[in-house]
Amino acid sequence: MRALITGGAGFIGSHIAERLVAEGHEVVVYDNLSSGRRENLSGFAANANRLELVVADVRDAAKLAECAAGCDVIFHEAAIVSVPYSVEHPQETHDVNIQGTLNVLQAARAGGVRRVLFACSAAVYGEDPEMPKRESMRPSPISPYGVEKMCGEMYLQTWAKLYGVETVSLRYFNVFGPRQDPRSPYSGVISIFVDRALAGTSPTVYGDGEQSRDFVFVSNVVDANLRAATTPGASGRAYNVGCGHRTTLNDLLAMLGRIVGRDVAATYAPARAGDIKDSLADIALARAELGYEPAVGVEEGLARLIEFERKRRSA
């Protein structure tokens, strides 16, 4: 198949690109390189005729339409992904995350694309204390980012009904793995902790470290995407993509210590404003309807990430 991946030079998008190229598919990566990087593609870009990079923005509707024409599937991963940034810059994140998604859907419709996959988020659940999160729960986002992801998902469902473009929304929980950038203060906690542990410096835990998340290794997220791209009958649906387990930050530090072979001592600081305490996905629906199974658990994923980072640092 021929696939367009928006945000394809970013963390998750580049892993989808890598898998598709390995399976012999033709891939167009569409990325404005604001947070994506060419280096994220360099490890597997050797077969240049199967992988094309278009440096453009999802706000550019005309360019998107040009690139979508003739594609079978679009993986829409491009977004401004920081919750706190969306709180500070809601207009900009609206333009990228909502208008950008609408542009993708328009392009899909005009270009005869069979199916669109959307990188949605656990942020749609907000602070509803009910656990685990099920897709049937009423969404109650508490940030512009959460609203934008919810809105994108609703646009997708509408497209499936109105225009016959098949769409599937995947609600990612806390994704981690190689190529996630640890350098922003809003980076995923695992990327930051691994960076500190390998540098021999002390990671900072905001709060008592007993908050928990459903951390999901990126290869599981790629699996979910490929299944969602091909499973008949999945159109118009939304699925949680997590591991179905929660891990506290203190557990995470202990795992890190086991893998690197020495204690990773953290510094504890006051909890971050607006943080939720716990997050956990119910993945029964994705299991039942997509055959999704998170094959790589948290500790195994952490070990793979550390191995990748060690190699990268020694190169």
**138-177: which residues touch ligand UD2 (CB under 6 A)?**
174-175
In terms of Cβ atoms closer than 10 Å to its own Cβ (0-12, 13-18, 19+), residue 37 is: middle
| Shortest Cβ 15–ligand UD2 spacing (Å) | 15
The answer to whether 206 is a known catalytic residue is no
Phi, psi of 114 (to 5 degrees): -70, -50
Question: With respect to ligand UD2, which residue has the nearer C-beta, 47 or 204?
Answer: 204
Question: With respect to ligand UD2, which residue has the nearer C-beta, 177 or 188?
Answer: 188
Question: With respect to ligand UD2, which residue has the nearer C-beta, 54 or 175?
Answer: 175
**168-227: which residues touch ligand UD2 (CB under 6 A)?**
174-175, 188-189, 192, 204-206, 211, 213
Pick from 4, 51, 53, 81: which binds ligand UD2 (CB under 6 A)? 81
- Integer Cα distance of 31 and 79 in angstroms: 10
Report whether 216 contacts 241 (CB < 8 A): yes
- Helix, strand or coil for residue 213? strand
How many angstroms separate the Cα of 257 from the Cα of each of 261, 264, 313? Answer: 6, 5, 19
Question: With respect to ligand UD2, which residue has the nearer C-beta, 174 or 231?
Answer: 174
Task: Point out which span in 67-75, 228-236, 240-248, 274-282 binds ligand UD2 (CB under 6 A).
Answer: 274-282
Question: Burial code of 228-257, b = ≥16 C-beta within 10 A, e = fewer?
Answer: bbebeebbebbbbbbbbbbbbbbbbbebbe
How many angstroms separate the Cα of 99 from the Cα of each of 53, 87, 102, 103, 237? Answer: 22, 17, 5, 6, 21
Question: With respect to ligand UD2, which residue has the nearer C-beta, 45 or 81?
Answer: 81
For ligand UD2, what does the binding mask look like between residues 227 and 256, x meaning CB under 6 A? ----------------------x-------
Catalytic residue among 30, 125, 145, 172: 145
| Shortest Cβ 206–ligand UD2 spacing (Å) | 4
Report whether 205 contacts 267 (CB < 8 A): yes
Residue ranges in contact with ligand UD2 by CB under 6 A: 81, 83, 121-123, 174-175, 188-189, 192, 204-206, 211, 213, 249, 272, 275-276, 279
Q: Which residues are known catalytic residues?
A: 145
